[in-house]
Structure 1
Amino acid sequence: MKSPNKLLFTSLMITSTLMVASSSNWLTTWIGLEINMLGYIPLMFMAQNTMESEAAVKYLIPQSLGSTIFIASAIISSHFNNLQILMAIAMCLKLGVAPFHFWFQPVMASLQLTPAFILLTWQKIAPILAISSFNKTLIAMIMPIAMISALWGGIGGLNQTDIRSLLTYSSISHTGWMLASTTSNHIILIAYLTTYILINASIFASLNSESTKSCKQFFSSKEPTKFFILAITILSLGGLPPLVGFIMKLLVLMSTEAKTVIILGLITGAMISLFYYLSLTFSALLSFSKMHLTKTHLTSKQTILFFLSQTLPLTLIMFFF
């Protein structure tokens, strides 16, 4: 696909997300979600192979189903308020959270790195913002979905050896935390989203520079400084204290209005996720302890993304509070 087309569809994605963020009625939100979906599907075709075509179909069907349920329930709920829960379920289907994650992992496995990164990060913004605009009663009704998502994301990643599958289940777990943050201050939700996007950007920059699939290959870098930054970024995504990923989860726990059972489920899911991130980096960190930090060449992109992911969310919180 040529660059002008990529620029057009990327602009559609960005504009539609801003439309959802600024919409004041359900019709505008639905239109923004539809444009967002139609803007992303052409970007999925990077290598022009049959796997991407299959991934596009697997992405299109649940997204269209979610949009149909959303607009239908929005119309019917003007007469029957009890059906508003279907609007929240439709957004959860679009996000790919458990137990509506049946399409998420197959689509991620068939995509190239750039569209996979967009699916993990940018495509979550519009549905999350739509959910955050619901009333508190409706948000409280979907908190069990947040707990199930955090738990399933942790359990599903335990036996994964492919780094992309690991990031997929990690995304399911983090989406549960994003759902929990919708009951708190909007600044915390935005800061959590910013943290998640920047940490993933740093990881995908490393994946893009080196062709890696397995977790062992992921930490096979011979440059100690580059390896150390990568390990810290992974542990920050897992929520190891005192890294910024842990601080953002702590802020969510301090400000959320979810019930105690939901909070315990979120913490349990985070602990399971942290376990497989620690097991992923433990042997690599042991070998790193035998190395000596040398003056190595590190690309400016990786350095900037690392420092942004660890400092920008904290700066956001300090600025608003």
Structure 2
Amino acid sequence: MKSPHKSLFLFLMVTSTCMVMSSSNWLTTWMGLEINMLGFIPLMYFKETTSESETAAKYLVPQALGSTIFITSAMIALHSNTLQTLMPIAMCLKLGAAPLHFWFPPVMAGLPLLPAFLLLTWQKIAPIFAISSFHPTIMAKIMPIAAISALWGGIGGVNQTDIRSLLTYSSIAHTGWMLASINSPAPTLMLYITTYILITTSVYMCLTKQSTKSHKQLFSFKEPHDSFLLAITILSLSGLPPLTGFFMKLLVLYFTEASTIITMSLILGASTSLLYYLSLTFSPLLSFNKANFSKTKMISKSSIMFFLISDSTPILYCVLPLK
């Protein structure tokens, strides 16, 4: 990210997301999504290798397909409402929601850590807020996609040993929860996305300290304090009570207007995700004791981010009684 042209593309990616969030018509939304895609693709060339070119092509094709479906259905919707449902489906394709997630795991597997983190977090903001601008009757038709995403994200990560694959399927599951919170009367979606980005940022800060892929080497930090923070942050991402990730899912369940079947699918998917995250972090949490904690001499950046995430819990408590 030291190159000036990458700073320019990063600026385009950020401003295009703001353009989508403040858009008042479909044409401006489509333009913002296209600029967002074109601004992110050069950032994928982090080390400028051949594999990154292949990964960029795998990302470009479904994104271009989603944009084509979106603008075509928007033009047809001016004269007929028959194809208007394709517009949120096109956004779900760009978002990587199941069962339209076929491009998401291969792209995540071939990206360096920083572009993969941007794809997990910032690149979700524009499509999800584009979906939230649709009419409530149209959004109700894509609630099955929210249920499938939550279930598939939970089931798909059970046999995964690569930390990138775990974060990928966890992102698919969280996408289902984001879609379920769109119809909520409170600002649930904004709180959920903000909390998810903060928790994922904390995981990213821990992973930048070591280049490991297997879960067996994931907690092999020099300082045991970092291993403990990473384990707690991963459990918060999975939604273990009483961590922050649990309260943001509880907030969605409290405000969502989805049917009982959709709600039960969300809970079942979250329980499955919690199962393999508990098996992942059970050993490092047991091996951590008070003696190891006393050996820590300084607070790392990941610790600061962890405390920042913990401070967001009172906000959720304040919003929860409001309806």
TM-score by length of 2: 0.96
Confirm or deny: 8 A CA contact 2:240 2:246 kept in the other structure.
Answer: yes
* Displacement after TM superposition at 1:315 (Å): 2.9
* Displacement after TM superposition at 1:314 (Å): 4.0
Question: Structure 2 stretches of 5 or more lacking a match?
Answer: none
More deviation, 281-290/233-242 = 281-290
Confirm or deny: 8 A CA contact 1:154 1:273 kept in the other structure.
Answer: yes
Letter in 1 for 2:103: W
Q: 1:163 — aligned with what?
A: 163
Q: 1:258 — aligned with what?
A: 258
Confirm or deny: 8 A CA contact 2:151 2:266 kept in the other structure.
Answer: yes
Q: 1:45 — aligned with what?
A: 45
Q: 2:205 — aligned with what?
A: 205
Q: 1:81 — aligned with what?
A: 81
Q: Following the alignment from structure 1 to structure 2, what is the Cα–Cα distance between the partners of residues 157 and 235?
A: 14
Q: Following the alignment from structure 1 to structure 2, what is the Cα–Cα distance between the partners of residues 5 and 219?
A: 35
Confirm or deny: 8 A CA contact 1:188 1:252 kept in the other structure.
Answer: yes
Q: 1:27 — aligned with what?
A: 27
The equivalences for 1:1-321 within 5 A come to: 2-185=2-185, 187-289=187-289, 291-312=291-312, 314-315=314-315, 318=318
* Displacement after TM superposition at 1:289 (Å): 4.1
* Displacement after TM superposition at 1:67 (Å): 0.4
* Displacement after TM superposition at 1:186 (Å): 5.3
* Displacement after TM superposition at 1:175 (Å): 0.4
* Displacement after TM superposition at 1:224 (Å): 2.6
* Displacement after TM superposition at 1:229 (Å): 1.2
Q: Which has the higher helix share?
A: 1
Q: Count the aligned residue pairs.
A: 321
Q: Following the alignment from structure 1 to structure 2, what is the Cα–Cα distance between the partners of residues 219 and 140?
A: 42
Cα 1:200–1:298 shift into 2, 3 Å: farther
* Displacement after TM superposition at 1:293 (Å): 1.7
Q: Following the alignment from structure 2 to structure 1, what is the Cα–Cα distance between the partners of residues 83 and 102?
A: 24
Confirm or deny: 8 A CA contact 1:23 1:29 kept in the other structure.
Answer: yes
Deviations 1:197-218, CA, capped at 9 Å, x for gaps: 1111111111111111111111
Cα 1:315–1:260 shift into 2, 3 Å: same
Confirm or deny: 8 A CA contact 1:120 1:171 kept in the other structure.
Answer: yes
Confirm or deny: 8 A CA contact 1:191 1:317 kept in the other structure.
Answer: no
What is the root-mean-square deviation in Å for CA atoms of aligned residues? 1.6
Question: Structure 1 stretches of 5 or more lacking a match?
Answer: none
Q: Following the alignment from structure 1 to structure 2, what is the Cα–Cα distance between the partners of residues 68 and 210?
A: 40
Confirm or deny: 8 A CA contact 2:99 2:145 kept in the other structure.
Answer: yes
Letter in 2 for 1:3: S
Deviations 1:175-203, CA, capped at 9 Å, x for gaps: 00000010113521111101111111111
Confirm or deny: 8 A CA contact 1:192 1:248 kept in the other structure.
Answer: yes
Q: Following the alignment from structure 1 to structure 2, what is the Cα–Cα distance between the partners of residues 219 and 291?
A: 17
Q: Secondary structure at the match of 1:134?
A: coil
Deviations 1:210-253, CA, capped at 9 Å, x for gaps: 11111111112242322221111010000000111000000100
Q: Following the alignment from structure 2 to structure 1, what is the Cα–Cα distance between the partners of residues 147 and 98?
A: 9
TM-score by length of 1: 0.96
